[in-house]
Structure 1
C-alpha cells in the first residue's frame, strides 16, 4: 500500500526566517527605525580621514614655479581693470579686450562666446533633458546677451586630447575688486603655464560673464563646446549694438596674429576649477578657502579632487579650509548633550581598551554633525552650489574654490601676497591633475563630508537608509496575510459547498487586493497631475508667487475630488458595496512607498535618505482614527495623536516651513516661499521635485485615507 500521508516537507531556512520576521513585523519595525536614527547620529564618529587614492596625483611633490613676475603681471591686469570707469557703457567690452590682449601676448588663442540668459519657465519635458535647454530667444537687444572670453594655452608636451578648465566668473557690467582679483589669479597661473615644459594637458581659461548668472554663462559655453551647431557663428551680432563701441571685438587684439577667430576647442576635460575671491574675512586670522562641490541631483566630484585641494591649501599655503555647515545646529542643546554622552562612552571604551579610538570631543561631534547635515541637505536638494555643477552634467569632476582674504592695513602688499598664494594653490592642483593618465576613478563618488578632511562613504551611510526601508516589505506582507485570514462579511449568509465556498473566498479576496492596488495607482496618477499643473499655471501672465501657489492648491484639490469620485464609483461596482479593508490599502501603500524610495535612492541617495526619515514612520504608524476613539486606551490615544502629528509634519509645505524656520528663523518665513522653493527645483531640473509630487505626496494622501477609513 502506498502511503497517503507523511511528514510535511521542511521549509528552507531563508523562508522560515522570512516568516518569522513577518510574524514579528511590529517589533522589527521599531528596532530597525530606532537603529536607523542611531546610525545617522553616529555617522560623525564613523567618518574617516580623507586620503589620496590615486598615486599619480602626488600633490605637493614639486616646488611651486610661480614667480613674482607672474604675480606683478596679474596685479597690473587687476589695476587696469579697476581703473576703468564703471559707469561707462563699454566697460565690459574693455575688460574682454584686456583679457584677450594679455592671453594673446602669452601666445594663447582667444575667442568670444555669446549667450543669452536661461529661460526661467517650468516645462515638464525639461526634467528629461539638460538643465540649460531653454534660452530666451525673444529679446535680441544687446543688454540681453552676455559675452564670455575664452583663452586656451596649448600644452607643449600634449597631444591636444585632454584639457583642464579654469573658470573665473565676473560681472561685466559692474565688476567688483574681488572678481578682478579672481581674474588676476587665473592670469598669473596662465602666465606660468604658457612657458613650462611639464604641461601635458591644454589649459582653458573661461572668463565667464556672470551678469545673467554664473551658472548660465558656464552651462551655455559647455553646451556649445560639447554639442556644436553647424553653421553657428560665434562672433556676436555687433551690428545691432550701436550703443556700445564693440567694433574691435571681431578682430584679434594683437596685430599680425589670427588666433581669435571662430569657436576654439581643446581636448576632453579632465577636471575644472571655478576660482572665486570673496571679500575680507575677519572671522579667521589668515586667508581661508571654502570648497563647494555639490552638483545637480546630489552628484559629487571624485573625492580625490577635494583631497588634493584641501591638502595643498592646508599644508602648502597655510589656508583655513572650510565647507558648508548648518549653523543653527552649532548651538543646539540636544546635540551638545548627545555629544557629551558619546564623549563619556568613548572615555569608558578607551579605559577598557586603549586601542579603541571611539568617541570625539563635544565640539568636534557638533561641528561634524552640522557639516554632515549640510552635505546631506544640499545633495538632497539637487541644486548645484556653484557654477561647477554645469560640468558634472557632462561627467567632468569640478569644484568651486572661494578664497577669502584676511583683512590687513597694508592693502597693496596683501594683494600681491594673496595673488601669489592663490596662484600657487591653483598651480599645485593643475600640476596634480596634469599627472593623471586617465580620468578620476580611484576614490569615491558617493560620500558625505563631515569636515574638509573627514568623509563618510556610501557603504557606511547607506546602512541607515537600508534599516529605514527594511521593515516596509515585512509590514506589507504581514498586513496582507492578516487581511486574507479574515473571511469577508459578504459571504456570511451564502450557502455554498466547501469547494465553491473556498473558490469564492479566494476570488473575493483577490478583488479586494486589486481594488487597493487600483486606489494606490489612481492616487499616484493624481501625483503626476499635481507635478504637471505648474506648466499650465505659468501660462497666466503677471501672476505672483502667492497667487500661483493658491491656484496650484485649488487645482490639485479639484483634481483629487474628481479622481476620488471615480474611485468611489468603481468601488461600488467592484466590491458590491463592500468597503475596502484598510489593512490591504495600507499594505499596498507601504509597498508603493518602498518601491518609490528604492527608485529615488538610485537617482539621489541623499533625497531618498531624508524622504525615508519622513515617510517611513508615517506609513508604518498609519491606522484608522476610529480605533483610538473606540478603544480609548492611553496607547490607542497616543497612537492617534502621533498619527496626526506625523500627518501634519509630513505635509511637504509644513516640512519646508519647519526646516526653514529652524535654519533661518521663523521671522523670515513667508507663505509664498514654498512656491519659490519649488521654482528653484524646476530651474535646476531637480528630481527632488518629482519625488515630492509623485512619491511623497501620494503616500501622504493614502495615509490620510487610512486614518479616515471609517468615513469611506
Structure 2
C-alpha cells in the first residue's frame, strides 16, 4: 500500500516549454496547416504592395556625377562604321570574314589590341555526367567544314591609370553572314564608346570589346570566348583545323593578329551586352533589361540600378522589364487590386502615416512583372548571352534598345547613337569608380518594376508559410497512426506492460521503416526517370510526341520493376492483416520528404521552390484515401474527394505545364509535344528545375496518388 501511495503521490515530470509548444502544434496541426497555407498564398498576392524603391547601395558608383564626354566626333566615327557594314552587307559576294576584317581594322585604327577567337558550335544535348559541369571545350560537332566555325573579334584598351588587374567587358552580338540595321547600330554604339575610351585619362580598368559572332547563337559565341578566357586551350582539334581551313592573305591585319594568339586583360568587374532591335510600332526609344542567368542567378542589383538611373534621368529612355502579359488583362487580378486600393485609402483615412495600398493598375502591372521574374528565375535558362558571364561569377546584363531609326533619317540615327553611347559611357564610368567587386546590394531579389524590387527577406515569407505546415502535419500523422495502431492495442492486452510497450515500439519502428522504404524506392525511380531522356534522344528520327510517349511508358515500366525488386517483399508485418493506419505512416514520410526536398531546392533555386510549394503543399496535405471518404457519405468528405482529384490532376507535371501554358498563352495549338520540348530545353541548359521535377515533384505526386488510392 505504501509503495502504491508513494507512486500515486510522485510529482509529474514538468515538460520543457519547447516540448509543450511542439505538442500543441502537433495537436492542432490541421487548423494550423490551413492558416499557414492561406497566409502563404495571401502573402504571395501581397508582395507587389511590399516592394521597395531601388537605390544605389555602393556610394562609389556615383552615377551621373560627371558630365558625359561622348560628342559628335565619336558619333561621326560610329556612323562611318555603320555605313561601311551596311554597304558591305549589300554586296552579294561579301563573306563573313570581310565584316570581321573591317571591324578589326576600325579597332586597330584606335590603337586597341585586336585578336580573334575561333570556336566551333557545340552539340547542346543532354548528358547525365555533364549536368552541373561545363562541357568539354574540345567537343565539337562531327562532319565539320571550313565554314562551320565562328570567329569572335576582340579589342582591348589598356587603362592608362590601371594595373591591368581588372576589366570591363562590352559585348555586341552580330551575325557575320548577314548584318541587319539593328546589329550595325549596336556595333556603332559600342564603337563610339570604345573610341572615346581610347582618349580619356580617368580610365582605371581595361576595356574589352567582344564582337560575338552569333551565327550559331549569341550565347554560344560569348560562352566560347569566356571558356577560352578562363580555361586556356593551348592545342586541340579546333585550333588546328581552323588554321588549315582559312587561307587569308599574309599581309592582312587579320592574319597577323591570328598569329598573336588569344589576348586577355584582368579580372572582369562587370559586363554589358548591347543589342539594338527595330520596334517601329514604338513612339519613343525604350530600353529593356534582361538579367536572369542560369538556375535563377541574378547580377548585383546595383548594376541594374545605375542603368535605370542613367537611362531615365540622363537619357530620357523608357525602361522596361519582362512581364507576364496575359495577367495584365486578368479580371480577378484587377478586382483584387481595386480591393487593395480601397483598403489603402481606408487605412490612410484612419492614419495618414500608414502607407498601405497602391493604385489597382500599378498592382496588376507589378504582379505581372513579379510573375515573369519568378517564372524566368524558376526556368533556370538565361534570358540572354549575359548568362554566360554569371556562370563565372561576373555581374552582367543585356541591354536591348528599341529603335525607331531608319537608314534614310541621318539626324535620328545620330541622336540615337549619341544617347545610347552616353548611356554606356555613364555605366562604364560608374563601374570604373569601384575599388572592389559588386557586393553592397542584393543578389537575391525579384523585380516588380524597373525601379521596385523585393529582397529575399520579404519574398521568402510566403515560401516559409507554405512549407511550415508540412513538418507539423507529418508529426501529427505519425503520432496518430502509432497511438491508434490496432496491432499495438492487441499486443498490449496479451502481454505484460513492459513487454507490450517494448514490442509495440518495435513494431511501430518497423512500420515507419517500411513506409520510408517505399518512399526511398519511389525517389530512386525518380532518378531513373531523369536518365531516360538521354537514351530516348539516341533514337533516330523520333518526334517530340513519340519521345514523350516512350518516356511515359518506360517510366511506368521502370516503376513496376523497382517495386517488384525492392518494394513488394515484406511490405506488411502481417500480410494477412494489413494495418488500417499504414497509409498515415506513408503520408507522414511523404510529407517529410517533400519538406526536405523543397527546402533543399530553395537553396539552389528559390523561385522553383516557391512555385513547387504552391503545387505540392496542398496536394500533400489533402491526400487521403478515397475509400474512407466515400464510405462516410458526408458532404465535407466528398468535397475532399473533389479537391484530391483536382490536385492530383493538376499536380502531374505534364498536366501542370500544359495548364499554365494555356492560362498564360492560350489553349490554341497546345499538345503533349510542348512539354517534351520544354523538358528538353531545361535539361540541355542544365537547369536545376529538371532535377526538381524528377527527384522531388514527380515522386511526391506518385506517393500522394498511392495514398489517395490506398485500399485501407
TM-score of the aligned structures, taking structure 2 as reference length:
0.96
Q: How far apart, in 2, do the equivalents of 1:101 and 1:401 lie?
A: 26
Q: Does 1:492 align with 2:490?
A: yes
Q: How far apart, in 1, do the equivalents of 2:110 and 2:239 lie?
A: 22
- Of the structure 1 ranges 89-98 and 171-180, higher mean CA displacement relative to structure 2 is found in 89-98
**Superposition pairs of residues 118-197 of structure 1, within 5 angstroms:** 118-130=122-134, 135-197=139-201
SS of the residue 2:175 aligns to: coil
Shift of 1:437: 0.2
Q: How far apart, in 2, do the equivalents of 1:249 and 1:602 lie?
A: 54
Aligned counterpart for 1:115 among listed residues 109, 115, 119: 119
Q: How far apart, in 2, do the equivalents of 1:185 and 1:103 lie?
A: 13
Contact 1:64 1:428 in 2 (8 A): yes
Contact 1:512 1:575 in 2 (8 A): no
Q: Which residue of 2 aligns with 1:660?
A: 661
Contact 2:290 2:321 in 1 (8 A): yes
Q: Which residue of 2 aligns with 1:681?
A: 682
Contact 2:619 2:647 in 1 (8 A): yes
**Superposition pairs of residues 319-358 of structure 1, within 5 angstroms:** 319-358=317-356
**Superposition pairs of residues 599-638 of structure 1, within 5 angstroms:** 599-638=600-639
**Superposition pairs of residues 19-34 of structure 1, within 5 angstroms:** 19-34=23-38
Q: Does 1:394 align with 2:392?
A: yes
- Of the structure 1 ranges 326-335 and 221-230, higher mean CA displacement relative to structure 2 is found in 221-230
Shift of 1:508: 1.1
Q: Which residue of 2 aligns with 1:545?
A: 544
Aligned counterpart for 2:374 among listed residues 369, 373, 376: 376
Shift of 1:398: 0.3
Q: Which residue of 1 aligns with 2:274?
A: 275
Q: How far apart, in 2, do the equivalents of 1:258 and 1:273 lie?
A: 25
Shift of 1:216: 0.5
Q: Which residue of 1 aligns with 2:15?
A: 11
Q: Which residue of 1 aligns with 2:516?
A: 517
* Cα distance change on mapping 1:132 and 1:676 into 2, 3 Å: farther
SS of the residue 1:52 aligns to: coil
1:499-546 Cα offsets, whole Å, 9 max, x none, are 322222111111110000000000000000000111111121221111
Q: Does 1:72 align with 2:76?
A: yes
Shift of 1:196: 0.3
Shift of 1:139: 2.7
Q: How far apart, in 2, do the equivalents of 1:21 and 1:531 lie?
A: 37
Q: How far apart, in 1, do the equivalents of 2:377 and 2:616 lie?
A: 18
**Superposition pairs of residues 153-552 of structure 1, within 5 angstroms:** 153-231=157-235, 237-238=241-242, 240-241=244-245, 246-248=247-249, 251-252=252-253, 261-283=260-282, 285-406=283-404, 411-489=409-487, 492=490, 495-552=494-551
SS of the residue 1:205 aligns to: strand
**Superposition pairs of residues 639-654 of structure 1, within 5 angstroms:** 639-654=640-655
SS of the residue 2:39 aligns to: helix
1:334-371 Cα offsets, whole Å, 9 max, x none, are 00000000000000001011111111111100000000
1:130-167 Cα offsets, whole Å, 9 max, x none, are 26768424232123211110111111111000000000
Q: Which residue of 2 aligns with 1:709?
A: 710
SS of the residue 1:113 aligns to: strand
Q: How far apart, in 2, do the equivalents of 1:496 and 1:235 lie?
A: 81
Shift of 1:411: 1.7
Q: How far apart, in 2, do the equivalents of 1:515 and 1:86 lie?
A: 73
* Cα distance change on mapping 1:258 and 1:653 into 2, 3 Å: closer
1:400-437 Cα offsets, whole Å, 9 max, x none, are 00000136796221111111110000000000000000
Q: How far apart, in 2, do the equivalents of 1:406 and 1:89 lie?
A: 29
Shift of 1:496: 3.0
* Cα distance change on mapping 1:491 and 1:346 into 2, 3 Å: closer
Shift of 1:116: 1.3
Contact 2:572 2:578 in 1 (8 A): no
Q: Does 1:52 align with 2:51?
A: no
Q: How far apart, in 2, do the equivalents of 1:600 and 1:84 lie?
A: 51
Q: How far apart, in 2, do the equivalents of 1:146 and 1:428 lie?
A: 31
Q: How far apart, in 1, do the equivalents of 2:46 and 2:153 lie?
A: 48
Q: How far apart, in 2, do the equivalents of 1:489 and 1:442 lie?
A: 61
1:469-492 Cα offsets, whole Å, 9 max, x none, are 000000000000001102333873
User: CA RMSD for the aligned pairs?
Assistant: 2.1
1:267-303 Cα offsets, whole Å, 9 max, x none, are 00000000000113423x3210000000000000000
1:22-54 Cα offsets, whole Å, 9 max, x none, are 100000000000000110111000000000000
Please, which runs of 5 or more residues in structure 1 have no aligned partner?
none
- Of the structure 1 ranges 409-418 and 630-639, higher mean CA displacement relative to structure 2 is found in 409-418
1:537-564 Cα offsets, whole Å, 9 max, x none, are 1121221111111110110010111122
Shift of 1:259: 9.3
Q: How far apart, in 2, do the equivalents of 1:407 and 1:65 lie?
A: 23
Shift of 1:91: 2.4
Shift of 1:625: 0.3
Contact 1:112 1:234 in 2 (8 A): no
Q: How far apart, in 1, do the equivalents of 2:21 and 2:280 lie?
A: 59
- Of the structure 1 ranges 85-94 and 146-155, higher mean CA displacement relative to structure 2 is found in 85-94
Please, which runs of 5 or more residues in structure 2 have no aligned partner?
none
Shift of 1:187: 0.5
Q: How far apart, in 2, do the equivalents of 1:374 and 1:705 lie?
A: 34
Q: How far apart, in 1, do the equivalents of 2:138 and 2:229 lie?
A: 17
Q: How far apart, in 2, do the equivalents of 1:687 and 1:250 lie?
A: 50
SS of the residue 1:468 aligns to: helix
Contact 1:118 1:134 in 2 (8 A): no
SS of the residue 2:88 aligns to: coil
1:64-121 Cα offsets, whole Å, 9 max, x none, are 0001111111111011011014574652101100111011111101111111112122
